[in-house]
Amino acid sequence: MDTRRSGARWRTATWQALGLVLILAVWWLVTDGLKLYPPYVFPSARAVWTEISYGLWGTGPQDGKLLAAIAGSLRRVLTGYLAAVALGTCIGLLMGLWSPIRSTLGAYLTGVQSIPSIAFVPFAILFFGLNERAVLFVVILEGFIPIALSVSGALLNVPPTLRVAGRTLGASGLSLLLRVLLPAVLPNVLTGLRTAWSFAWRALVGAELLIAGSKSLGEQLEIGRNTANVALVLATIIIIGVIGGLFDALLRTVESRVRRDYGLEAGE
């Protein structure tokens, strides 16, 4: 089974590498081969790579700013994401264990979740001011709702026989929650954590773009726009996508491992 799983991973990696080569080939054809657009409208992949390399490991006085921006954005999103996990778990437990809270608060959270995160930025600016707290507010708001809904929904789907078995073995109250219910809902909660990460990461970049915090990826996008440096804008977009994809892949790996341990997912 490990051999088949390893083979599947290699096949996936091979197809992904071929897809990247195809994208770069089309990019080169549009910018360097056919020259369909001037460089200040659509720069070549080489120009974007130059911005990435200077921004990440350049040694000049203006270089290395992308690396500092990544560090600043990661610090904010991890702070907001962890706060969202704590808040969402508490609210999800309340909603899952008490139906009056679920029937009232759940409907409001579903409605708030449908509002784009960018719509909350003006309120955050007016309430907190142009500072980091406004960014964290938007990140937490977008992150905690998927977690609360996933925890609540997972608790409702716990088989009644599992609760009965737990009580029969002497578990009740907090003991039943910690030793029976929470382990039972863990696979579904991990799915909610992955969704919450996606929401939080997108909300962070949108808020940084408008609030223009120092040392942030949003600030780099704004600098690129103000200086008409399209290569810097594309370089920052690529970095945002890579970081978001890496964290999603990490959470997906943990989720897949837990689901296999629970017997919910067959090995490839």
The one-letter amino acid code at 93 reads L
* 254 inside domain: yes
Task: Supply the pLDDT for residue 212.
Answer: 59
| 3-state helix/strand/coil string of 39-93 | CCCCCCHHHHHHHHHHHHHCCCCCCCHHHHHHHHHHHHHHHHHHHHHHHHHHHHH
Calpha distance 42→234 (Å, rounded):
9
Task: Supply the pLDDT for residue 87.
Answer: 96
Contact 218, 208 (CB under 8 A): yes
Q: How many CB atoms lie within 10 A of CB 6?
A: 11
User: Contacts from 10-13 at CB under 8 Å and sequence distance 24+?
Assistant: none
SS3 137: helix
* 233 inside domain: yes
* 137 inside domain: yes
Burial per residue of 111-144, b for 16 or more beta-carbon CB atoms within 10 angstroms, e otherwise? eeeeeebeebbeebbeebeeebebbbbbbbbbbb
Domain coverage including residue 142: 71-262
Q: Which helix (H) or strand (E) holds 125?
A: helix 121-128
* 10 inside domain: no
Task: Supply the pLDDT for residue 173.
Answer: 79
Task: Supply the pLDDT for residue 234.
Answer: 95
- For 153, the token pair is 């929904």
CA angle 156, 162, 164 (to 5 degrees): 105
Predicted TM-score (pTM) of the model is 0.85
* 35 inside domain: no
* 62 inside domain: no
* 156 inside domain: yes
Task: Supply the pLDDT for residue 181.
Answer: 84
The tens-digit pLDDT sequence of the chain (268 residues) is 567 767 777 888 899 899 999 999 999 999 998 889 999 999 999 999 999 988 888 766 557 788 889 999 999 999 999 999 999 999 999 998 888 888 888 889 988 988 988 899 999 999 998 888 999 999 999 999 999 999 999 888 888 888 888 888 877 778 888 888 888 888 888 888 999 999 999 999 888 888 756 788 998 999 999 999 999 999 999 999 999 999 999 998 898 888 888 777 655 4
CA 142 remoteness from chain centre: 10
Task: Supply the pLDDT for residue 260.
Answer: 83
* 154 inside domain: yes
User: Contacts from 39-47 at CB under 8 Å and sequence distance 24+?
Assistant: 40/228, 40/230, 41/230, 42/230, 43/230, 43/231, 43/234, 47/231
CATH of the domain at 242: 1.10.3720.10
Domains in the chain, number: 1
How many residues does this entry show for the chain?
A: 268
